[in-house]
Amino acid sequence: MLPRQNDQDIVRKQERYKEEDFKKIIRSMGLKITDQRLLIINCLHDSEAKSGERHVTAQELFEKVSKKDSNIGFATVYRFLRDLANKGFVTEVRMGGQSSRYELTTKEHHDHLTCTKCGKICEFENKKIEKLQVQVAEYFGFVLTNHILELYGICPSCQAKGE
């Protein structure tokens, strides 16, 4: 059984990017910097900063983008989001048969705990779990280079509703 984390053990940093950072990302992908691409990545970043909702579906991102420019189609948003994910600039959180959720990849590592009823995603980092993952990798002769840990369960709110 894992001990309860102290508040100082829970890591959640709000990273702020500038437009120049987004231009560097787009250039590094070998793509032309366009107003559409900048708007998409800005909307993804702004949704995190303003609402605190770090994990959005492609549809939610499209809705944010289309409020600012109705000429940008869903396919454009989705394709660029997939390109960002494939290059590691965006992290995709998958959850069974539900829509994938996306967040800008942070510099600080974190794992996810997702409610299978409402889709709420909690981010956490636990030093003991991180150490155990390295031990498991070493046991099998691996040198751990990266990992994604996604845990699934039912959040307190859904438990209270009896769901």
Residues annotated as binding site for Fe cation? 109, 111, 130, 147
Nearest to 116 by CA among 68, 159, 65: 159
* Cβ neighbours around 76 below 10 Å, total: 16
Pairing of strands 98-104, 90-95: antiparallel
3-state DSSP assignment of residue 123? strand
For residue 14, give the amino acid letter: Q
Tokens of 157: 């709110």
Q: What is the H or E stretch that residue 95 is in?
A: strand 90-95
Written as six digits, the tokens of 76 are 């454009």
The annotation places the binding site at: 109, 111, 115, 118, 130, 147, 155, 158
Point out the annotated binding site for Zn(2+).
Answer: 115, 118, 155, 158
d(CA 7, CA 25): 33
Q: How far apart are CA 163 and CA 117, in angstroms?
A: 7
Residue holding tokens 């099998």? 140
